[in-house]
A and B are shown apart, each in its own frame.
Chain A
């Protein structure tokens, strides 16, 4: 395996497991009617239940349960028709109840799997151990007052899905691919917006190293990483740190670590000895949560087509490369755009134009597909003009730039600017005659054996035609004229 890491004493294998916390897309919180929206003024979205007022009781928000089941179905996972909410007890100022309602022993979703695609097109199936529902905590702000902390309970009680992978990943790149794919599935399903900057998706990373094929090493858990880049940086740092410690004769402490985004390093948050005893027990305010197979079946029937299915179709039916198919299907909107754009045109060519020209232009202009000036049908039509020989690929690039700028259709631009490819053999012959007459010396050299000059003549002819001459015909006619003697 190429993922092995070289140490001073030999090769090391990296073992990574991820716990991803995904905020459930829902109007209300997991156990209260308060709004779960982002961006409200501090403590605006707080119900009596969220603030843990005396005598208040949690009532499950069924929609959050359905979102978890949809996600489970998307991960091809076991759906548990009976699951149990437990209390995880600890004291903190942004945890008003003094416990978090979570699922410990009996989660709503059991084992599943997720397929990742690496840049080289290789795929790997990563095991999902479980998915459970739990409440988010509030937010503490320690920098607003010299001696006090400020608490915002808006996030308190918002529904999270904790999605736990098996320790199946072997590199930071695989971990990133896993999170990217998980995010993609969540967004397809509409169960989490996947917005990492707003904290809707965060990951805890478990890392250990071992000799290839050897027993598992001691792992560390680095908490609360909120970007793909930080996830990879934290893993890379941990791998180097752990290998150095072991190779120096030390031992890895099983501990919880924090990633410092300013230094790119991880540091100890709490050791195993300081680990909380959370005193989990079933929440007596809630009955075991029961869903019927009919409910699950109805949710399954209404599930959208997921990236893997679309990807298989793009590769199987349309002949796209594994990489292009993955890039196009990562986002549901991109896949939709592609399907609309390529309908009736050369599927592979449209994929090319989309991944190279369109994504390039969007990137450069800071736009997203939502505000893309080129409609999918317009991109398809442009590719159509290339395919039927109306314009050359080179001219098409100019037309594309114009389209992106003005939003006009390719046909319009080609007409207005007279960019239609010249395929009239008489006209091309006349251009060639002009070029040959003006370069008699080079004609002699060519005929004297300097074959490489052929390219020069092609270039001159294309230049004279303003790029519009049909390159195939130019080649053919030019060769017949030069070689005729």
Chain B
């Protein structure tokens, strides 16, 4: 079965269409892989029977000549997406036992394109975290290991998604990115992760963290696979008022189009104290690759970058404090009984929410309070506009920006969890794109001396995902990142 797991999504599609393999065979291999790598704790629900039934249907459509874009491809779903009839908890105790009677628009799009659901993937509780360590199901583990073999975080919040794709227990996976939750874990796990432009994918049916920042996107092994999955995920959705009607570009065609003549900006503010030298070197290497491929490098300035992180940690908790008010024990999920209504709320929310979620609810409540609103929330919204303007100005001169994806490689489980502020620094390069609503992609660039993957990030204009795929396609081709992690299912490495 190892051969089946070696196929990337584009290859698997070809093999399925040629009837060289069947969807049932492919999905069976992935179910086996998920079981074999269960120690990585990247699945919280494995829907094996459901997956095999969907695979059988996919085989019928392939035989009937009506195969969809993702027909027969096994996909893992971040537990933040509501999936009809399948437990959907945002990896929080407060939603334990919640099974939605509806399917999120994004996952519905994937199944409509023939995709097969393998199960639900681990993530930080309500997507709040950068290491997948706040999950009520315990941490997901990065399949990559350094020389000391300690367990590393896969990044977060979509840690389960990145871990599963890297460990080959999912061919593709969905994620969501509010401040870097797709790009940072993609970089930590050596896979490709795209955060689309805000509004590109419907938020309907995705458990909300911070509504003005949340955006769903794909995790895949290759850039072409990513463009394929993204093409199926995106849609205008009348059920999401922030969903765009801007037509989707030809993403598949962009992957091999090269960067000749493109202007690539290098923002001078994307350097920070304590940043790994290896990260800086990879960034410089990436610039050289793009230049060699025919792009023009342009030095650009994004002067408000240093304010992005504090701005994010005001706006995101503010929205979260309100979005999470509905988890009150009244209608679904956990309830801890008490004498009074207020007592029930307090007991339920104290027992149901983990520390990080409670911390952010408190921060968010504080910054929206009378007397603090102007100084925090309103000021943050103003800075957010300035950050957006920085990008607007830069994109008058360049077609895309190249930055590091993260300030370091993956860190050991448990090292940063008790130090929230240090932990928040993981998002320093990814957060600005969320504040500005821009698309961003993380693509593997190489390994550290300790053998851990590092990623490069490409940022683009709103609704110009195609340029990201052009640049990422070149980096992928030149970097030749073919290494695989130590703890991989059916690995040949």
Contact = CB atoms under 8 A, between A and B. Distances in A.
A59 B331 contact: no
Contact of B204 (A52, A55, A149, A287): A55
Contacts of B206: 55
Given A98-B328, A277-B370, A284-B212, A58 B241 contact: yes
A338 interface: no
B208 to A, nearest CB: 7
Contacts of A286: 241-242
A55 B207 contact: yes
B322 A281 contact: yes
A133 to B, nearest CB: 15
A53 B322 contact: no
A53 B100 contact: yes
Given A59-B238, A279-B322, A281-B322, A89 B368 contact: yes
Interface string B86-130: 001010000100101110100000000000000000000000000
Interface string A275-299: 0010111011111000000000000
Contact of A93 (B81, B211, B341): B341
A91 B212 CA distance: 22
B241 A279 contact: no
Contact of A89 (B102, B205, B325): B325
A279 B207 contact: no
B485 to A, nearest CB: 32
B102 A48 contact: yes
Contacts of A99: 322, 325
A97 B88 CA distance: 18
A53 B332 contact: yes
Interface in B313-341: 318-319, 321-322, 324-326, 328, 330-332, 341
Contacts of B370: 277, 279
B368 A281 contact: yes
Nearest to B212: A284
A372 interface: no
Given A54-B207, A97-B325, A285-B211, A279 B239 contact: no
A96 interface: yes
Contact of B239 (A52, A59, A91, A96): A59
Contacts of A58: 241
B312 interface: no
A57 B203 contact: yes
Contacts of B204: 55-57
Contacts of B211: 283-285
Given A48-B102, A54-B90, A91 B241 contact: no
A287 B240 CA distance: 10
Contact of B377 (A54, A281, A285): A281
Contacts of A281: 318-319, 322, 368, 373, 377
Contacts of A52: 326, 331
B74 to A, nearest CB: 23
Contacts of B245: none
Contacts of A283: 211
A96 B102 contact: no
A165 B369 CA distance: 27
A54 B100 contact: yes
A323 to B, nearest CB: 48
Contact of A57 (B81, B240, B326): B240
Contacts of B368: 89, 279-281
A53 B102 contact: yes
A51 interface: yes
B241 A98 contact: no
Contacts of A48: 101-102
Nearest to A99: B322
Interface string A32-69: 00000000000000001001111111111000000000
A284 B319 contact: yes
B82 A55 contact: yes
Contacts of B219: none
A91 B325 contact: yes
A87 interface: yes
A118 interface: no
B29 interface: no
A151 interface: yes
Interface string A90-105: 0111001111000000
B88 A54 contact: yes
A56 B100 CA distance: 11
Interface string A248-290: 0000000000000000000000000000010111011111000
A149 B205 CA distance: 29
Nearest to A59: B241
B326 A54 contact: yes
Contacts of B377: 281
Contacts of B319: 281, 284
A279 B371 CA distance: 10
Interface string B402-432: 0000000000000000000000000000000
Nearest to B315: A284
B144 interface: no
A91 B369 contact: no
A25 B299 CA distance: 58
B210 interface: yes
B131 to A, nearest CB: 23
Contacts of A149: 341
A96 B327 CA distance: 9
B345 interface: yes
A398 B330 CA distance: 65
A318 to B, nearest CB: 50
Interface string B229-246: 000000000111110000
A96 B238 contact: no
Interface string B341-382: 110010000000000000000000100111001000100000
Nearest to A60: B241
Contact of B345 (A53, A56, A91): A91
B94 to A, nearest CB: 10
Interface in B372-397: 373, 377
Nearest to A49: B239
Contacts of A285: 208, 211, 241-242
Contacts of A54: 82, 88, 90, 95, 98, 100, 207-208, 326, 332
Nearest to A58: B241
Nearest to B339: A147
A77 B261 CA distance: 56
Contacts of A60: 241
B325 A57 contact: no
A222 B76 CA distance: 55
A284 B239 contact: no
A55 B212 contact: no
A93 B322 contact: no
A51 B318 contact: no
Most buried by A among B238, B365, B370: B370
A277 B369 contact: yes
A96 B331 contact: yes
B148 to A, nearest CB: 40
Interface in B180-226: 203-208, 210-212
Nearest to B368: A279
Most buried by A among B104, B206, B239: B239
8 contacts: A53-B331, A53-B332, A54-B90, A55-B81, A55-B204, A87-B322, A279-B373, A281-B322
Interface of B: 81-82, 88, 90, 95, 98, 100-102, 104, 203-208, 210-212, 238-242, 318-319, 321-322, 324-326, 328, 330-332, 341-342, 345, 365, 368-370, 373, 377
Interface of A: 48, 51-60, 87, 89, 91-93, 96-99, 149, 151, 277, 279-281, 283-287
Given A53-B332, A281-B377, A284-B319, 16 more contacts: A48-B102, A52-B326, A53-B331, A54-B208, A55-B204, A57-B240, A59-B238, A89-B322, A89-B325, A93-B328, A96-B330, A98-B322, A151-B330, A281-B319, A283-B211, A285-B211
A-B complex: 3 closest residue pairs judged by Cβ atoms: A98-B325, A284-B211, A284-B212
